[in-house]
Structures are given as structure tokens and as C-alpha cells.
């Protein structure tokens, strides 16, 4: 098993009199992890704590084995951060902006300049690297922010809303870059986004925060695979009692917009649904398996009561 690149141990952060993060326990090992949650869930607070901007009230967090409390300098040399909001000086050329980021991460000036040129070419801004940032389009600014985040070759890359405001072509370019960096395997990537589609396309695992606590952490492919026995049924000739009949088999059903949705328990097969329909002279117009989407997973997590995270960690669920 690979070593975790981010570890949280009973992490608590209080700002003013409000506790924002409430006892987070987690180990992240996947190459790409999506960080999700509604506004106010604590995502930004967690990111700022990992970056060393805010100190834990209790507990701790570690990045690549370094403690955020006492080893912030070492962490900043290993971490790359692409913020959601603009973070540039309008009159500064892009190459100077990226070079500054490299120097702040600990690279010598000459090497920082060389890496700045390389990073800008990598994200597709090679021809515009001497232009001032203030004249860049939104898509170019996002790419410049990505360049400064990766210029020093970080081991952990945090991307906060990387496709925010991008047109479809620019979004596709950004997603492909993230996938390419993921597949290279040289860094771990944490993507914080409100766009569930982005997380589905680039991430292997997802962490969902709610009210400062972790309400869901899963392998996305395993999560979807576990729902292969989720069935949607459309009927003809049903008098409204077919769902009740299916429940008599031991299934749990819901009816929405004329569709019957059910999860088949162990021992119940599709042929049992066909037999039941034939016995009642009901035509099955459509019957298909459906895996949960990330949106389904997210909405379920939002409906859940906040769990006792410590118990879930001890039981091996997180």
C-alpha cells in the first residue's frame, strides 16, 4: 500500500468563535482526489490549513509526512496551489509571474526562470509568456495559474475550481492537462470543484464535506460498481400496484415520473420481475440497470446525518 500524501488526525480549526473543521480523520493515497461540499462546508479552510495559512486548533495534518504546524516551509516546497481567485499583478508578464512562484517555492532564480518558460509552454502559453497578465483572457489566466502551481515540480497539487468560468474548448484543454498530469504519476492531485462532471472525469476518489465533517469518502469506480443491481422500470398497463407487487418480493421501490426504481436484493433476479409482470399482464416497456452518478452519491451524502467520523475510521470505513 502506498504511503498517504495527506493525513488528517482529529483536525479541528476554529476561526473566531466558530469551529469550521470538526475532527477530520482521513488518509489520502489516490493519485487524484475530488474535494466536494456545499458552500460553508469547510473546503477552503481545509486547503488553507494544508498550505499552512491557518493553524489547527487541535489535532494535526501532514503533507508528504510533514506536519503543518511545524514544517510549513518544507510543505510549501512540495505543494503546488492553483487558487480559485486571481492572484497576479496586472502589469507583470506571465513569465515573471510564474518565475516568482517558482522562487517562492524555493528554486534558485536562474532555474526558476528556466522552469517558468517550460511550464508556460506546457500549458499552451509559450507564445504569450511575455505578455502582461492584465491583458490575458479568463482562460489564459487560468492556464497561467496552473503553470505557477506546477512550475517547481510539486509532489502534491491542489487545484481550486480549475475550470471556473472557462468556455467549453478551454475547459476541455484544462481537463486533458489534469488527466495527463495524473497519468504521469509524478504527483498527487486534489481537485476542489463545484462541477461534479469535472470530478467524475479526472478523479479516482472523492471526499465530501458537510458542516466541517467528512460525510463520504469513496473510490468512485467501486461506488458505481456496487450499484449494478439498481434497476429502472417503465411499464404499460400498470394500475399503480406493480411497485407494491415488486416490494412483496423483498425489494424497496420508489416511483418518480412514471418510473419504478428499485434495488434488487440478494436472491432476486431480473427474471423474477419479468415473471411478476407476465402474471399481472403488464408490459415492460423499458428495464435497465443504472449506476449511481457522482451527483447521486453527492445528494445522498447531503441527506445523511453527519456521522461519527472517529468510529468510522476505527471500523475501517474511512
SS3 content of the chain, % helix, strand, coil (to 5): 40, 25, 35
Residue pointed to by grid coordinates 480549526: 13
Q: In this predicted model, what pLDDT tens digit does every residue of 129-171 receive, in sequence order?
A: 999 999 999 999 999 999 999 999 999 999 999 998 899 999 9
Percent of the chain with pLDDT over 90: 63
pLDDT greater than 90 at residue 172 = yes
Region 73-89 average pLDDT = 91
Region 172-180 average pLDDT = 96
Q: With b meaning 16 or more CB within 10 Å and e meaning fewer, what string describes 234-260?
A: ebeebeeebbebbeebebebeeeeeeb
pTM assigned to the model: 0.78
* Cβ(33)–Cβ(216) below 8 Å: no
Q: Do domains 6-223+297-314 and 229-290 have the same CATH topology?
A: no
Superfamily, domain 229-290: Ribosomal protein S10 (3.30.70.600)
pLDDT score at 1: 62
pLDDT greater than 90 at residue 25 = yes
Per-domain residue ranges for the chain?
Answer: 6-223+297-314, 229-290
Residue pointed to by grid coordinates 482526489: 33
Order of strands across the sheet with 252-256?
Answer: 252-256, 259-263, 230-236, 283-289
**Helical residues (DSSP H) of the chain, grouped into ranges:** 43-50, 72-78, 94-104, 109-122, 138-150, 168-184, 196-202, 220-225, 242-248, 270-279, 294-303, 309-314
Within 10 angstroms of residue 136's Cβ, the number of other Cβ atoms is 19
Phi, psi at 9, each rounded to 5°: -130, 105
Please give the class, per CATH, of domain 6-223+297-314: alpha beta
Q: In this predicted model, what pLDDT tens digit does every residue of 268-284 receive, in sequence order?
A: 888 899 999 999 999 99
Q: In this predicted model, what pLDDT tens digit does every residue of 47-73 receive, in sequence order?
A: 999 999 999 999 999 999 999 999 988
Number of H helices, E strands in the chain: 12, 14
pLDDT greater than 50 at residue 313 = no
Amino acid at each position: 500500500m502506498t504511503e498517504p500524501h495527506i493525513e488528517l488526525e482529529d483536525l479541528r480549526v476554529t476561526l473566531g468563535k466558530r469551529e469550521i473543521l470538526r475532527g477530520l480523520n482521513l488518509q489520502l493515497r489516490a493519485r487524484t482526489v475530488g474535494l466536494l461540499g456545499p458552500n460553508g462546508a469547510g473546503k477552503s479552510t481545509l486547503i488553507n490549513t494544508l498550505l499552512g495559512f491557518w493553524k489547527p486548533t487541535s489535532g494535526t495534518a501532514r503533507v508528504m509526512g510533514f506536519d503543518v504546524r511545524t514544517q510549513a516551509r518544507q510543505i510549501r516546497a512540495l505543494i503546488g496551489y492553483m487558487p480559485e481567485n486571481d492572484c497576479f499583478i496586472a502589469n507583470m508578464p506571465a513569465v515573471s509571474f510564474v518565475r516568482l512562484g517558482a522562487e517562492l517555492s524555493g528554486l534558485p532564480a536562474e532555474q526558476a526562470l528556466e522552469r517558468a518558460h517550460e511550464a508556460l509552454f506546457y500549458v499552451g502559453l509559450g507564445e504569450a509568456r511575455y505578455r502582461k497578465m492584465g491583458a490575458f483572457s479568463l482562460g489564459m489566466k487560468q492556464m497561467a495559474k496552473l503553470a505557477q502551481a506546477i512550475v517547481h515540480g510539486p509532489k502534491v497539487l491542489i487545484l481550486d475550481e480549475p475550470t471556473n468560468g472557462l468556455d467549453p474548448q478551454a475547459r476541455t484543454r484544462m481537463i486533458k492537462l489534469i488527466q495527463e498530469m495524473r497519468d504521469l504519476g509524478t504527483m498527487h492531485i486534489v481537485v476542489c470543484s463545484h462541477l461534479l462532471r469535472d470530478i467524475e472525469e479526472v478523479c479516482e476518489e472523492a471526499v465530501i464535506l458537510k458542516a466541517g465533517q467528512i460525510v463520504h469518502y469513496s473510490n468512485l469506480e467501486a461506488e458505481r460498481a456496487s450499484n449494478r443491481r439498481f434497476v429502472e422500470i417503465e411499464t404499460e398497463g400498470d394500475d399503480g400496484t406493480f411497485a407494491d407487487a415488486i416490494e412483496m418480493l423483498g425489494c424497496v421501490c420508489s416511483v418518480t415520473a412514471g418510473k419504478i426504481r428499485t434495488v434488487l436484493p440478494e436472491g432476486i433476479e431480473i427474471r423474477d420481475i419479468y415473471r411478476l409482470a407476465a402474471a399481472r399482464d403488464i408490459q415492460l416497456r423499458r428495464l435497465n440497470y443504472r449506476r449511481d452518478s457522482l451527483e447521486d452519491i453527492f445528494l445522498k451524502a447531503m441527506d445523511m446525518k453527519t456521522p461519527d467520523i472517529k468510529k468510522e475510521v476505527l471500523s475501517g470505513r474511512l
